[in-house]
Amino acid sequence: METTRNLVLTAWMAEHGHSSNTLADAVNQAIGDLTGRLGGLDGSSVRDWKAGRVRWPKSATRAALTKVTGLSATALGFVPRGRAASAPAPPQEDPVNRRSFLTATAATTALPLPVTAAPHRVGASDVTRLRGKFADVVAGDHQHGGIRGIETRALDLSAEAVDLQGRGSTSQRVRSQLYAVAAAFTSSAMWAAIDGRRFDAARHHHERAASLAAMSGDQTIQFRIWSHAGSLYRHMGRPSDALAANDVARALPVTRRDPLFAALGHARHAAIHGLTGSRSAVERTIGHAQDAADRADPHTHRPVWMTAVCDQAELAELALSAYLSLGDFERAEAQAHRSLTLLRPSMQRDRALVTARLAQAQLGQGEVEPAMATAMGVPLNVVRHPRVAGILAAFGSGLREFAPHSSHTRAWTQYQREVLT
């Protein structure tokens, strides 16, 4: 069947500065706000709308589009099933009424349980419930990476943890745990912003997370926050600040009590040292990281974010980053293969990052054909992740510099134009 391009949506996106990817992120976030579960759209979904291949999105998507744009689906150029594209659109619903309805619906679903005569007691069950939601946020990060929806969801849950303390009486222990959970959610928002290369937002989240963590007294979440700060400054190309922030994490007593925390701190230090060009520091800290990991007791109880991220695959991935920064491409390739072998299936974002870096390591050794195959093997559902896209863009630049007139370079340029943009 012949399709008709949705010129109205295309024009709205151009007017408001949206790419296919940013509109998909915004709609995913709005779906999460309306339903409690993030949407699964990506840039290709929006391109299908623009091309007319999808003329009438699902109801939840239409409501989310209205939330993002302030316009009904028909006003955005979508055509209800069973109606020709030229048929007149029904009268547009008053956007004010629509927003009021959405607000009222959200408020209704969030109403507390009827108040009983006895005062509400905020207890351990509330903390357990929030920790379950935190585990979902961590799992979403591993699958999708730094999309705005994860950042917003984490901030909303952090606010819920803080606000809960004003809804009833609680013990000091539970109060501290609620501050720790709020700090954990905010640190996830911080990491989502780092992962999405929204560095100003990440610095703002760091300030809030550090404050909440200090009130909680929980050293494990303080470690995560300052370790993330080290990663933030590393991605910003500020190794001195990165080393200082990561030193705060490494100096916490939890790194002496649990060698696995020490291992992660050393491994992230190695990645930072790679930016300084200090081979001896990289080798030393990688060795410290492995020694600490070998001493760690696998049966020790640890926070969900720690058990989800810190393993031998993560240590190899950070060593890969360090060796790439040093230009030691042979060792970088070895660490990339090791990480890919050990990565858990759920770590989709990390697998894409390691694969893209493996392509860089192969190209650095002059292995153009294997490097091309590796780079093109990055799964299409994650090639537009900001960090993955940045690595692949750097790969393309390196390829053009290494072999500007080769057939491989022409093939990559075509692939980049047709698939990556």
Q: What is the pLDDT of residue 123?
A: 81
> How distant, in Å, are the alpha carbons of 305, 310, 389 from that of 132?
12, 19, 31
Residues of the chain scoring pLDDT < 70: 1-3, 82-120, 142-146
**Domain coordinates in residue numbering, the chain:** 1-79, 123-217, 325-421
Query: pLDDT digits over 157-200, tens only?
Result: 999 998 887 777 788 899 899 999 999 999 999 999 999 999 99
Q: Identify the CATH assignment for 1-79 out of 1.10.10, 3.40.190, 1.10.238, 1.10.260.
A: 1.10.260
> How distant, in Å, are the alpha carbons of 107, 120, 247, 259, 377 from that of 114?
15, 11, 49, 47, 54
Q: What is the pLDDT of residue 244?
A: 97
